[in-house]
């Protein structure tokens, strides 16, 4: 019995030593993680997301209190209306002076014609010319009075646009399609500009970062199809993958995935794009098989 058991152990060891199949690379899955932060200060009136939720791009998922911004905007609108009323008074004066100038110019032409026929004196001509010059100066003065009013109105318009931009940024808009990985805030909390609210990543496609030796580089190229394997119970589960990036320079083998002897070796990082069926997770280890 002991002899038979010893023979079985030797046969098992022999079969293992003859199994030369080995993955061409080892690594971990990763995804581009985006941390979304607040763009306004105030209380979170609403924040309707949960970890694991799949969000669509350009979707409003929350709102920061805009009450004070609204009141500031209304105050500026009232100030602008007051300025416009001043401008209307100035413009009405300009219209009156323009009408007087038009009448005076007609009178000036008539006097000049009469002077040409010796029916008017030089003094009459000078008087009407003087009236025209006075009216032109008055019109110019009114225009000068209206210039600062216009500038003040433009300044208020800019302030209103600024507040409207702040109100728009108080809306929390999800920028990309992806899955919520972490949530950092809750409704009714006070948030501030730049404070992280949640982290999101598109995990419909995962990136497997693996490391290969210099001798393996001639066998790989960007766009090449490879097989990616992950642990799945007693067997390995296969996924088709595509090499999307190859590092241009070597680096030392990462300590987290290699033995002590291999850490001194120089390797090249590559990235493999893999479609996710829901089983792949960030940080999950995997193997790359070129054959």
For residue 259, what pLDDT band results from cuts at 50, 70 and 90? low
User: What is the structure's pLDDT at 261?
Assistant: 52
CB 59 within 8 A of CB 173: yes
**pLDDT confidence of residue 81:** 87
pLDDT of amino acid 1: 38
**pTM across the whole model:** 0.68
Output the pLDDT for position 286: 95
Residues 180-189: pLDDT tens digits? Answer: 999 999 999 9
Residue 260 scores a pLDDT above 70: no
Q: What percent of the chain has pLDDT over 70?
A: 89
Mean pLDDT, range 34-44, rounded to an integer: 96
pLDDT at 254: 64
CB 195 within 8 A of CB 41: no
Ranked by mean pLDDT, the top range of 60-69, 233-242, 254-263, 265-274 is 60-69
Reported confidence tier of residue 210, pLDDT bands at 50, 70, 90: very high
pLDDT tens for each residue of 106-163 = 888 888 888 888 887 888 888 888 888 888 888 777 777 777 778 888 899 999 999 9
Given pLDDT bands bounded at 50, 70 and 90, which one contains residue 233? confident
Q: What value does the mean pLDDT of the chain take?
A: 85
DSSP per residue, 69-133:
HHHHHHHHHHHHHHHHHHHHHHHHHHHHHHHHHHHHHHHHHHHHHHHHTTSS-HHHHHHHHHHHH
Cross-strand bridge partners of residue 26: 211, 287
Rounded alpha-carbon distances, angstroms, from residue 76 to 65, 70, 81, 160: 19, 10, 9, 7
């Amino acid at each position: 019995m002991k002899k038979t058991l010893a023979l079985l152990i030797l046969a098992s060891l022999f079969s293992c030593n003859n199994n030369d199949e080995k993955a061409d690379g080892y690594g971990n899955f990763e995804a581009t993680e985006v941390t979304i932060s607040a763009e306004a200060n105030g209380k979170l009136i609403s924040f309707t997301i949960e970890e694991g939720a799949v969000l669509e791009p350009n979707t409003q998922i929350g709102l920061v209190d805009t009450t004070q911004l609204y009141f500031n905007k209304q105050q500026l609108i009232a100030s602008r209306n007051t300025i416009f009323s001043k401008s209307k008074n100035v413009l009405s004066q300009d219209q009156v002076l323009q009408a007087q100038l038009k009448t005076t110019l007609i009178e000036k032409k008539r006097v000049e014609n009469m002077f040409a026929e010796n029916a008017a004196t030089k003094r009459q001509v000078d008087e009407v010319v003087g009236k025209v010059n006075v009216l032109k100066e008055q019109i110019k003065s009114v225009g000068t009075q209206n210039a600062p009013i216009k500038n003040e109105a433009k300044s208020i318009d800019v302030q209103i646009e600024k507040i409207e931009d702040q109100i728009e940024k108080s809306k929390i808009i999800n920028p990309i399609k992806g899955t919520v990985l972490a949530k950092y805030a809750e409704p009714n909390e006070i948030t501030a500009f730049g404070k992280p609210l949640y982290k999101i990543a598109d995990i419909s496609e995962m990136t497997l970062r693996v490391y290969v030796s210099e001798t393996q580089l001639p066998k790989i190229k960007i766009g090449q199809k490879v097989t990616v394997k992950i642990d799945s119970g007693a067997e390995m589960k296969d996924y088709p993958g595509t090499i999307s990036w190859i590092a241009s320079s070597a680096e030392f083998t990462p300590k987290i995935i290699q033995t002590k002897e291999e850490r001194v070796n120089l390797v090249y990082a590559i990235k493999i794009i893999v479609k996710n069926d829901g089983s792949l997770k960030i940080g999950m280890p995997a193997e790359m098989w070129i054959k």
